[in-house]
């Protein structure tokens, strides 16, 4: 990061209306209001802080003056991509703030994300009373889907529904879709606020500290690992093999490994490993030595780990155009059993794939509170007339970030960083290459 302009959030126009928060909070109101002059440093390390002109980020929060007249404004909410704990919490929070605090005339729930929007699936009118308990449920009550985006159809539908504020809850692909919609709206001269609430269970979005649902996901994964350990420990020469989510980034596998303290080997997409079928180095020989020493082992593998052992061309692509992954869990289960069988060594393998459980469980308390705060700040920014922005935390503070900044790349575990070192210290695993 270098240019200050790269972190500026576009505005639809001047804020002309008093926020309803001003009347409700009375004398205390002014202390809570922010404006674009309240900013924080992008970097917080001393060598970076002391190096010339600093890039800053706009702090999130309610504004004293807002762009939209609440009684005339209409909002729409959609979820895109896969399930993630906390989706219902974000929807509930947005409706609570937009209707209950700002008094918007209408908030629509778009069924099945961008796919439902472009196909014209009738939306649902959302009210606070209707959603009073929805945040206690897992999944997504609006539905979500992956699709090839038809930008013109999406924009036409938003205009037909007289939407003024669009909230897109999703990952990097969803944010790219939101950028394309914002571009088309600008081309047509339509003043519509497009807001992203970042969602990725893999916690792999750039710049932000953590995605919602991640805490719930690795906490749930930790309990699965403990069950795998119980199975392995209770069997002679038992091996518990657990496959966790993480297509390109191994954060769930790393954090669940640290939380459980029962893992012998942690395999992630960022660190290659060899099988070592005939040698002394690699996963299989290391696993044999572990069983000789402890009589049991637990192997945690992220779904995107070990893809070097598959042919990408043979796997093909999914409906969204993403490269399909080889099933590393079943591959390792087969390799482990065959390796021990060839050597006449007994092994009791228990393979567990809890991926859909991690995605669909209700958010825990930490994520529920985080989701509500994300929703609140997203609503405040949109009502103030900000657009093409994502709300998230950076260095522990809520900020508004340009969508383009968040989708520039994918955050991954640094093989030379502190997190991976902590994992290696916890597992005691050797180099597997």
- Give the catalytic positions in this structure: 202
Short-list 42, 12, 15, CA closest to 400: 42
Cβ atoms within 10 Å, residue 47 = 7
Q: Which of 390, 413, 412 is nearest to 403 (CA)?
A: 390
The Cβ of residue 343 has, within 10 Å, a number of other Cβ atoms equal to 10
User: H helices within 206-303, ranges in order?
Assistant: 214-233, 251-260, 283-294
H runs (alpha helix) in 295-406: 312-315, 328-342, 355-360, 365-383, 403-406
3-state secondary structure of 192: coil
Residues 92/134, Cβ–Cβ less than 8 Å = yes
Contact 396, 237 (CB under 8 A): no
Place of tokens 């807002």: 66
| Residues forming a β-bridge with 63 | 34
- Which DSSP string do the residues of 125-152 spell out, in sequence order? E--TGGGTTGGGSSS-TT--------HH
As given in the structure block, the two tokens for residue 369 are 């509170």
**What kind and span of H or E run contains 349?**
strand 348-352
Determine the 3-state secondary structure of 170 from DSSP.
Answer: strand
């Amino acid at each position: 990061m270098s240019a200050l302009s790269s972190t500026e959030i576009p505005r639809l126009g001047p804020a002309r209306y008093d926020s309803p928060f001003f009347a409700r909070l009375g004398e205390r109101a002014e202390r809570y209001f922010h404006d674009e002059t309240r900013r924080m440093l992008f970097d917080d390390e001393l060598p970076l802080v002391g190096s010339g002109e600093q890039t800053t980020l706009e702090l999130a929060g309610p504004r004293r003056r807002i762009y939209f007249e609440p009684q005339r404004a209409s909002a729409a909410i959609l979820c895109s991509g896969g399930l993630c704990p906390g989706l219902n919490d974000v929807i509930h929070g947005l409706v609570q703030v937009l209707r209950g605090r700002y008094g918007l005339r209408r908030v629509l729930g778009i069924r099945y994300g961008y796919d439902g929007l472009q196909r014209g699936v009738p939306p649902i009118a959302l009210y606070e009373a209707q959603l009073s308990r929805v945040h206690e449920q897992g999944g997504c009550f609006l539905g979500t889907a992956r699709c090839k985006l038809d930008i013109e159809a999406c924009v036409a539908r938003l205009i037909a529904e007289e939407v003024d504020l669009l909230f897109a809850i999703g990952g990097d692909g969803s944010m790219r879709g939101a950028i394309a919609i914002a571009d088309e709206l600008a081309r047509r001269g339509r003043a519509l606020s497009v807001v992203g609430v970042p969602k990725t269970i893999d916690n792999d979005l750039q710049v932000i500290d953590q995605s919602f649902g991640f805490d719930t996901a690795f906490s749930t994964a930790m309990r699965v690992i403990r069950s795998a350990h119980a199975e392995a420990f209770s069997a002679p020469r038992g091996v518990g093999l657990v496959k966790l989510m993480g297509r390109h980034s191994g954060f769930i596998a790393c954090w669940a490994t640290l939380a459980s303290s029962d893992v012998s080997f942690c395999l992630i997409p960022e660190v290659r490993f060899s099988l070592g079928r005939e040698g002394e180095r690699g996963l299989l020989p290391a696993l044999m030595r572990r069983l000789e020493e402890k009589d049991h082992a637990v192997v945690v593998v992220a779904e995107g780990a070990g893809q070097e052992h598959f042919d990408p061309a043979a796997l093909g692509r999914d409906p969204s155009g993403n490269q399909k992954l080889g099933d590393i869990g079943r591959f390792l289960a087969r390799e482990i059993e065959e390796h021990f069988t060839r050597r006449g060594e007994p092994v009791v393998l228990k393979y567990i794939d809890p991926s859909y459980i991690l995605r669909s469980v209700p958010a825990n308390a930490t994520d529920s509170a985080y989701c509500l705060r994300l929703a609140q700040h997203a609503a405040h920014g949109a009502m103030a007339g900000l657009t093409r922005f994502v709300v998230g935390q950076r260095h522990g503070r809520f900020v508004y970030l340009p969508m383009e900044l968040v989708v520039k790349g994918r955050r991954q575990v640094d093989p030379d960083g502190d997190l991976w070192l902590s994992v290696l210290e916890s597992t005691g695993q050797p180099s597997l290459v």
